[in-house]
Amino acid sequence: MINKLIQSALSSFDYQIRSTKHFGDNYWNDLALLMRRQPSEKSIIMDVGAHHGETLIACRKSFPDAMIHCFEPDPESQEILKNCASNLEKVKIHELALGSAAAQAEFHRNSASMTNSLLPTSAESLESDYADYTKTQEVIQVSVETLDEICARENIGWIDLLKTDCQGYDLMVLQGGEKMISSHQVGLITCEVIFDQEYDGQGRFHELLRYLDSFGYRLIGFYNMSRNRDHVCTYCDAIFERPIGANPS
């Protein structure tokens, strides 16, 4: 009765009370639920585009026993990431980028480190609401490897969660893990999705969706949606899951 009265009072101000455990509302709660239906006993998480350790900290809180591999090519961000991980167990930092093929590549260091990318900032982005963040300050050379190469070297045959936040390069990261993904050896994939043209050559959402769909991965939902001043969706996080009942091959 009291709850109904509170809900009624809030609704007059266009507010509502809703449980944060309602599926679809909370990114980390949903990932935790989805992780519980993955088959492995010892969780392995790949944090690609680890930046300053934001996802690392959240993963360690939600999945305290998981082994977490962090990938970060930017030297300044690496130092912050190392400091973040210094008191954490079961963390390995890889000072490199992931992509569709092993190479040495140009890495664009931008005004805001969170927008650093292997791709150049687009002219459209430099005229957008995010222009102050995406302007390139320096271009350096970094090492790029593939997810499949890393898994072979580290003797990893199963990944519970593959997270990518690579500023337009997410599709290329997935393509570099095609052996693992096509054989359903990755349980969950969460990618940053950019809807506007922020980088030249970036993977578009429909391309990413088509790629994962070709291997049977299903879109679970969109989270952490950002909009511009015109209320147009600009980017978000998308969660995908391998086919239920699929056996890693």
Question: Which pLDDT belongs to residue 41?
Answer: 77
Higher-pLDDT residue of 213 and 41 is 213
Please report, rounded to a whole number, the percentage of residues in the chain having pLDDT higher than 70: 91
> Quick one: average pLDDT of 75-90?
98
d(CA 186, CA 115): 26
Contact between 92 and 69 under an 8 Å Cβ cutoff? The reply is yes
Burial of 115 (0-12, 13-18, 19+ CB in 10 A): buried
Mean pLDDT across the chain? 92
pLDDT in tens, 44-53: 999 999 999 9
CA–CA distance from 28 to each of 17, 112, 197 (Å)?
19, 25, 27
pLDDT over 80 (residue 247): no
| 239 confidence band (pLDDT: 50, 70, 90) | very high
Domain boundaries, the chain: 40-99+146-241
> Quick one: average pLDDT of 14-43?
81
Which pair of tokens denotes residue 234? 């600009």
CATH of span 40-99+146-241: 3.40.50.150
Burial of 12 (0-12, 13-18, 19+ CB in 10 A): exposed
| 12 confidence band (pLDDT: 50, 70, 90) | low
pLDDT in tens, 124-182: 999 887 789 999 999 999 999 999 999 999 999 999 999 999 999 999 999 999 999 99
